[in-house]
Amino acid sequence: MTETMGDHVVAIAQDLFSAMVDGEPGHLAEGPGHPSPLSEPVRAWVDIRGERPLRTLVATGRDTADRITRALLDLEPREDVATADVRDALGEIANVIGGNVKGLLPEHPALSLPVVVFGGSAPDGVPLWTRSLQWHDEALVVSMWDVPVNQEEYL
């Protein structure tokens, strides 16, 4: 899995944020090469079934996740957001990115439902690639992983 796939995924994420989060392009950009640790991380992913199952994962801090949720739901800047809505919103971000990635992998026939985890540490293993992005100057990390063998039942 190459950086070229990473470039495609960044483009997909930028299209997604332009069309459905910000309503205009230009607010999701490449960030620093090595992302800083996320505060109260929220991680959302979907798994793509295939001979080599792959996971596309989106991670950001809780404040940024709340802000993305407000944007998707057309809420006011300081309006309260329910945890269930944050789970739903970040899951959809992962789902749209993962669905488009699946389209680039014709030998991968199916997509899992999204999984969203609040807090905790990063998953075990080493990502195939990681792209550090900035949405309105807030950190958002997209990465691709091999699906751990003991988690393949999620597929």
Partner 1 sequence: MSLRVIVADDSKVMRQIVVRTLRQAGYGDWEVTEATNGAEALELALAQQPDLVLSDWNMPEMTGIELLRRLSAATDIPLGFITSEGSPQMRELAQSEGALFLIAKPFTPDAFRSTIDPFLA
- Provide the binding-site residues for partner 1, judged by CB under 8 A: 15-16, 18-20, 69, 72-74, 85, 88-89, 91-92, 95-100, 102-104, 106, 111, 113
- Kindly state the tokens that stand for 152: 């393949």
Q: Shortest Cβ distance from residue 37 to partner 1 (Å)? A: 27
Among residues 35 and 142, whose Cβ is nearest to partner 1? 142
- The whole-angstrom separation of Cα 28 and Cα 25 is 8
Among residues 29 and 110, whose Cβ is nearest to partner 1? 110
**Interior CA angle at 39 toward 120 and 94, to 5°?**
70
Q: Shortest Cβ distance from residue 82 to partner 1 (Å)? A: 10
Among residues 35 and 55, whose Cβ is nearest to partner 1? 55
